[in-house]
Structure 1
């Protein structure tokens, strides 16, 4: 099971953590894992590129762990971009959860 924890402060996403493995298919063919990875890493890459910010990222050595924290001191414009992209990420992950709820759980 993949667990996604979204941490908010005053309705803004400040951090998210993804842990676990979906185990919805054989290694290398797990569609839920691939979808979650694509959504989360795509969002992080977009925030870094479009928001022009460095994000503190923690990853597990064998996979199955990702924590991303939004820095406190960024411009208002960068924060708006980051929040829009993060909210889009949450919507995409919730879409995966609707179809594959036995493999992913989102706590927001």
Structure 2
């Protein structure tokens, strides 16, 4: 199962950690894994491309692990953009979870 943990104290997404494997289908055919990966990496890439924010990123060597932390000391304008992108990611992942909840779980720590 893929687990996505969002740390969002005071309704600000400060970081997210994605871990595990969906095991929906064999490697290369797993649409749950592909969807979660595309949404997550797309959000991180959008943050780096569309804002002046450089998130702290950790990836597992074998795949199945991604951690992204947003610096606390960014401008209000950048913060607004980053939060919009991360909330868009959360909504997209919730859509996947609604249909494939057996294979992924979202935890929102507020």
TM-score after normalising by structure 1 = 0.98
Greater than 2 Å deviation, 4+ residue runs: none
Aligned partner of 1:106 in structure 2 is 106
Aligned partner of 2:22 in structure 1 is 22
TM-score after normalising by structure 2 = 0.96
In structure 1, what is the Cα distance between the partners aligned to 2:19 and 2:105? 10
Aligned partner of 2:63 in structure 1 is 63
Unaligned runs of 5+ in 1: none
- Aligned residue pairs total 108
In structure 1, what is the Cα distance between the partners aligned to 2:26 and 2:100? 16
Aligned partner of 2:43 in structure 1 is 43
Aligned partner of 1:3 in structure 2 is 3
Q: Deviations over 1:84-105 (max 9, x none)?
A: 0000000000000000010000
